[in-house]
Amino acid sequence: MKHADIVSKMSLEQKARFVSGYDYWHLEEAPELGLPKIMITDGPHGLRKQNPDKKSSSGIGLGNSVPTTCFPPAATSACSWDEELLKQEGEALAEECIQEKVSVILGPGTNIKRSPVCGRNFEYFSEDPLLAGKMSASLINGCQSKGVGNSLKHYACNSQEAFRMVVNEVIDERTIREIYFPAFEIAVKESQPWTVMNSYNRINGVYASQNKWLQQDVLRGEWGFEGLIVTDWGASVDRIPGLENGTDLEMPSSGTLNTQKIIDAVKNGELDIKVLDERVDTVVDLIIKSKPNLEKNYKFDVEAHHKLAQKVAEGAMTLLKNEENILPLKSGQKVAVIGELAKSPRFQGAGSSVINATKLDNAYDCLVSLGVDITYAQGYEKGKDVVNSQLISEAVSTAKAADVAVVFAGLTEEFEGEGYDRVDINMPSCHNALISEVAKANPNTVVVLAGGSVVYMPWVNEVKGLLNSGLGGQAGGAAVANILTGKVNPSGKTAETYPARFEDNPTFGNYPGGPVT
């Protein structure tokens, strides 16, 4: 043990408390032993710290977090294939954590994209384990270089949201080692994250938080992981087997329930005190590593971080089609900007990763500021899958009067997010109908596609240009405007496969989908 001198001074009750959270976001403290209370909270593409000055209707504080920079989520940043850029993002995330006295940020999400309909795909880098591992390691190295820890998640085999709390992932060893493990292995070996978060699901019948082979044999034994293993929030099923099989810290606090179970288990011989001491030692080590930043008074540069978010977005956006060099837009062209997403962008995913952005660019305003001659039509009602004939008619008229029509379309929050999976890869029907009608009215049509995962594009042969903007983060609007006008060259590359049809994906027919968690 690294800190036997400290652990030996703790009572059994104190040790039992230390392997569970103090509350939803904090660890236990022991000031008399030089161990302050530290905070760990959500990422992964920005800091989501609950605002202490605002009341929240839920423990996770959605909608009541302090303003921080919303970087492009992993599904987008992965398309940059730029490890240095991700390292810079990690450094920026750390600076914001230091300001807010956060010691560990929960991310990056390194789950493999096994199916395009996983509702949380926007949080994950790729279907390619090598790319996912390299991007994860780069972000972690950047963040931890400034003394803020990461939590590599969700280990392992968590590639669906439906039934994620109870599902049993039955996987042979070759598959798990060739597909599901490599990204985590790369990240662990190349960055040594301070923590690894286990997943909710079972792997071959055993919950991840109680899986000795997963945590002790592979993660620590084979890969040499030296940090702390923490449960996903509420993922501790049976605390005593969890401790015995490698889980150091249960989050959030379980009150006194598991504390008393641990005390009783030690007293009756069910749990070896040496095992408990090892788990406590790992928690103590995390707290000690976190101490230097707690004493710093630091303010991050809001504008510099916004510009970095723009740089990440610009490096990730991918030009998928450009017939007759329709892009960049030419000086003097009259441009019809169509689609509510141009003014009200979808820039991040939904769920525990939602960031209260310090500012938000939209493509419409940014194009205007660049001097583009613009007309605008709404095209559809954002968040609804209803074809509005009047809005489409107005869009068609606007497109006919322009030299180029740029349609902003894709997936809105209602169609993908944490806690549920999609049932297909279709875009909203109103978006598809709009694009087809605009393309008929103006042959010079470009689509700017937003969303955190792949979609079926029945209109792809009807348009001349296609720019995949993904989820661009808070500066994504400026990035789109710069690419459309040629100020920035679109250098992104896809990080996942776009099947021509959902039926062409290997998981079709073998993936549950739907809303049940």
Residue of higher predicted confidence among 256 and 80: 80
Overall number of domains in the chain: 2
With bands split at pLDDT 50, 70 and 90, how would you rate the model's confidence at 514?
A: low
Do 283 and 430 sit in the same domain of this protein? no
Considering the domain architecture, whether residues 407 and 286 belong to the same structural domain is answered as no
Within a domain: residue 182? Answer: no
Q: How many helices (H) and strands (E) does the chain have?
A: 16, 14
Q: Which of 42, 82, 128, 232 is catalytic?
A: 232
Residue 358 covered by a domain: yes
What is residue 54's three-state secondary structure?
Answer: coil
Q: Are residues 334 and 363 both part of a single domain? A: yes
Q: Is 54 exposed, middle or buried (0-12, 13-18, 19+ CB in 10 A)?
A: exposed
Taking the alpha carbons at both ends of the chain, their separation in whole angstroms is 38
Owning domain of residue 9? 1-35+253-293
- Please list, in sequence order, all residues whose beta carbon lies within 8 angstroms of the beta carbon of residue 172, skipping any fewer than 6 positions away: none
The predicted structure's pLDDT at residue 55? 61
Mean pLDDT, all residues of the chain: 96
Please indicate, yes or no, whether residues 275 and 346 belong to a single structural domain of this protein. no
Per-residue pLDDT, 461: 98
Confidence label for 163 from pLDDT (cuts 50, 70 and 90) = confident
User: Does the pLDDT at position 517 exceed 50?
Assistant: no
Name 181's Cβ contacts closer than 8 Å, sequence gap at least 6.
129, 156, 218
User: pLDDT value at position 413?
Assistant: 87
Do 287 and 316 fall into the same domain? no
Do 399 and 432 share a domain, yes or no?
Answer: yes
Convert 64-133 into a string of H (helix), E (strand) and C (coil): CECCECCCCCHHHHHHHCCHHHHHHHHHHHHHHHHHCCCCEEECCECCCCCCCCCCCHHHECCCCHHHHH
* Tens of pLDDT, residues 215-274: 999 999 999 999 999 999 999 999 999 999 999 999 999 888 999 999 999 999 999 999
Average pLDDT for 339-352: 95
Within a domain: 55 = no
Residue 442 located in a structural domain: yes
Q: Is residue 12 part of a domain?
A: yes
Mean pLDDT of 126-148: 99
Which residues, listed in sequence order, are joined to residue 35 by a DSSP beta bridge? 30
| Same domain? 289 vs 371 | no
pLDDT of residue 414: 86
Looking at the predicted structure, is the pLDDT value of residue 59 above 90?
A: no
**Is 232 a catalytic site residue?**
yes
Confidence of residue 61 (pLDDT cuts 50, 70, 90): low
The answer to whether residues 340 and 375 belong to one domain is: yes
Q: Is residue 420 part of a domain?
A: yes
304 has pLDDT over 60:
yes
Nearest Cα neighbor of 242 from 270, 212, 213 is 212
Q: Do residue 398 and residue 465 come from a single domain?
A: yes
Residue 7, CA distances (Å) to 241, 280, 285 in order: 21, 7, 10
Q: What percent of the chain has pLDDT over 90?
A: 89
In this prediction, residues 296-309 reach a mean pLDDT of 98
How is residue 179 annotated by DSSP?
A: I
Same domain flag for 323 and 387:
yes
